[in-house]
Amino acid sequence: MNIEKFIKHLVEQFDEIDPADVSPTTKFKELDGWDSLVAISLIAMVDAEYGKKLTGDEIRKAQSVSDLFEIVKSKN
Amino acid sequence: MNPFSLEGKKILITGASSGIGRTVAIEASLAGANIVICGRNSERLNKTFDLLHRIYNQRHERIVFDLADELATSATIHQLSDFDGIVFAAGSDLIQPFSFTTSQQLKSIMDDNFTGQVLMLQKLIKTKKINQGASIVFFSSVNGTSIGSKGHSLYAAAKGAINGLVRVLANELSKKKIRVNAIAPGMVETGLMKMNEEIVSQELLEEHRKDYPLGFGRPEDVAYLCIYLLSTASVWMTGQSITIDGGLGINR
């Protein structure tokens, strides 16, 4: 897994966000358009792209993009 | 006789191995019915079977099969007869934004919540296994009836299909005085809700609970409406999708 690709997938779940504005330290829940639908989009994206099950609680605990990346990466 | 009693009635309940289906089976047996339960999981179905009341010397039966498997359904129906009530409580949910939908998911959600039940009922009607004056109860949801929660597109579509089916069947089967209705519940505390909780997080679910003046429902709260629909007390009710939602609707 590489974080650049993860960020690309993450950005796709938002309607209009410039990928250049998102880095590993970005607090993704503070991005424009963040809501519960984007949260379940992330779960569906992680399932579709990485074949892993992310939970709502894990999203809640993660603050930065790299937090979320590490959670997904650590999953089997 | 008490019009709310189910004594002497033979009632088939699908999806009885868990959730609302299990509770409907237990409460209907308490109301005096002879119960035939079906479900996919034999261990959990046996647990339901053990929980059924037998105060009126009732005879209960259990059948393990998957409603989504049409061949298995045909074979099962062969052994059945003489129903005064049928409850379709089998179902499954999927929480995902619409844009991620795959054809397999569409098929699987429709099979579990709509197609399996439709094909089973069609065979029961065609082979005349349903008695005059019987009551058929489907499970719809507030999703697909009056609201559309984000992430539940396929589930709501299947439930909406149930609402349409109920109206036409009620009309077609009225000649035999068979009644057809759907129950459209709001959030009920079952295994499906547990799945919701895992995906959307407990925090969001607690937020959602505030939309319910009477809180989330218990399976019993919904089962009692189902008992009413199965009993002769509801003899003039047909073709309806009845919302039972702890007040969710008045708060919107």
pLDDT exceeds 80 at position B194:
no
Choose the closest CB to B97 out of A41, A57, A59. A41
Q: Which pLDDT score, from 0 to 100, does residue B46 have? A: 96
Q: How many CB atoms lie within 10 A of CB A24?
A: 15
Average pLDDT across chain B, whole number: 94
Please report the pLDDT score of residue B140 as a whole number. Answer: 98
In angstroms, the CA B202 to CA B36 distance is 36
pLDDT score, position A47: 92
Q: How far apart are CA B140 and CA B138, in angstroms?
A: 6
| Cα distances (Å, whole numbers) of residue B105 to B153, B156, B187 | 11, 13, 22
Catalytic residue among B56, B155, B212, B224: B155
Per-residue pLDDT band for B208 (boundaries 50, 70, 90) equals: confident
Residue A26 to chain B, least CA–CA distance (Å): 22
Residue A57's region, left for phi above 0, alpha for psi from -120 to 50, else beta, is alpha
Residue A76 has pLDDT above 90, yes or no: no
Instruction: Judge contact between B149 and B105, C-beta under 8 A.
Output: no
Partner residues linked to B179 by β-bridges: B135
pLDDT in tens, B134-144: 999 999 999 99
User: Is B56 among the residues known to form the active site?
Assistant: no
In Å, how far are A11, A35, B1, B25, B56 from A20, measured between CA atoms? 10, 21, 74, 57, 72
The confidence score (pLDDT) of residue B44 equals 95
Tokens read off for B21: 């289906």
Residues B35-44 have pLDDT tens digits of 999 988 999 9
Q: In the β-sheet with B130-139, what is the strand arrangement from edge to edge?
A: B61-64, B34-39, B10-14, B83-88, B130-139, B179-185, B241-244
pLDDT tens string B221-235: 999 999 999 999 999
Residue A19: predicted pLDDT: 87
Tell me, what's the pLDDT at B31? 97
**What is the model's pLDDT at position B171?**
98
To the nearest whole Å, the CA of A1 is away from the closest chain B CA by: 21
CB contacts of A44 in chain B (<8 Å) are 96-97, 100
pLDDT digits (tens, 9 = 90+) for B55-101: 999 999 999 988 888 888 888 888 888 999 999 998 988 999 999 99
Predicted pLDDT at A51: 94
| pLDDT for res B241 | 98
Question: Residue B100 is encoded by which pair of tokens?
Answer: 């991620």
Task: Test A48 with B97 for CB contact under 8 angstroms.
Answer: no
**Residue B105 CB: number of other CB atoms within 10 A?**
13
B101: left (phi over 0), alpha (psi -120 to 50) or beta: beta
Whole-number Å distance between alpha carbons of B26 and B220: 9
CB B60 within 8 A of CB B52: yes
Chain B residues 175-234 within an 8 A CB cutoff of chain A: 197-204
Nearest to A37 among B97, B197, B198 (CB): B97
Q: Is the ipTM of this complex over 0.90?
A: no
Q: Which of B152, B135, B37 is nearest to B96 (CA)?
A: B152
Closest by Cβ to A36, choosing from B100, B197, B204: B204
The pLDDT value given to residue B227: 98
- Both tokens of B178, joined, read 């068979």
Of all residues in chain B, the one with the smallest CA distance to A61 is B201
R_g of chain B, CA atoms, integer Å: 17
Checking if the pLDDT of A35 tops 90, the result is no
Average pLDDT for A7-14: 94
Return d(Cα B162, Cα B118) in angstroms, integer: 9
pLDDT given at position B85: 98
Lowest model confidence (mean pLDDT) among B38-52, B185-199, B224-238: B185-199
pTM for the full model?
0.91
HEC assignment per residue over B42-78: HHHHHHHHHHCCCCCCCCCEEEECCCCCHHHHHHHHH
Cβ separation A37–B96 shorter than 8 A:
no
Confidence bin at B184 (pLDDT 50/70/90): very high
For A56, the closest of B97, B100, B200 (CB atoms) is B200
Q: Indicate the average pLDDT of chain A.
A: 92
Q: Kindly state the helix (H) or strand (E) to which residue B121 belongs, with its residue range.
A: helix B116-126
Instruction: For A53, name the nearest residue in chain B, comparing CA atoms only.
Output: B199
- Residue A1, chain B, CB below 8 Å: the answer is no
Q: In terms of pLDDT, which residue wins out, A36 or B119?
A: B119
